[in-house]
Homo-oligomer: A and B are copies of this chain.
């Protein structure tokens, strides 16, 4: 998105937020291929021109929308590596646990679109990598502090931490319970 969000007036801000929410709901409901700027605009109760005033197309809009949703991600600045990893996993378990929540409901659609569309794939991978870095930074801190074996691969451990959460969301019917996050941490931090 090209507009500086801090300088825009509240009405425009509210309209943008409504359009973002409509875009994610639409993506979750019909998938990336079937979703159009027209169907998103209709859902948000605005004209197509309003959407095109802010975004170049549907991927541009989805990028804004997913970025805005994940700003509530918990990234603790202090505590042990284990405490910080627990906070992140708790957030993720809650986020992925509700299949009907905006961000989680459109995850299968993003996974599927990434298989077929090069631009979506590029965004999906970049978006995942940025979020993964929160956890690899924490693991690196844990290696430095001696909480984690110093020869461990931070990316691999991060993937083992989030693996059960994503696996259950995408391959299994039940969500991973946030209260069992410590059992995952036990394996990596032991």
Contacts and interface: CB of A to CB of B under 8 A. Distances in A.
A115 B108 contact: yes
Interface in A104-163: 105, 108-109, 111-112, 114-116, 121, 124-125, 128-129, 152-153, 156-157, 159-160, 162-163
Contacts of A184: 156, 160
A173 interface: yes
A164 B159 contact: yes
Interface in A39-80: none
- How many of chain A's residues touch chain B, expressed as a range? 35 or more
Contacts of A31: 31, 33, 112, 116
Contacts of A156: 164, 180, 183-184, 187
Chain A, interface SS category:
helix
A171 B109 CA distance: 12
A160 B124 CA distance: 22
A173 B112 contact: no
Contacts of A87: none
Nearest to A99: B115
Interface of A: 28, 31, 33, 99, 105, 108-109, 111-112, 114-116, 121, 124-125, 128-129, 152-153, 156-157, 159-160, 162-164, 166-168, 170-173, 180, 183-184, 187-188, 190
Nearest first, the 7 closest Cβ-Cβ pairs linking A and B are A163-B163, A112-B112, A159-B164, A108-B115, A108-B112, A128-B171, A125-B173
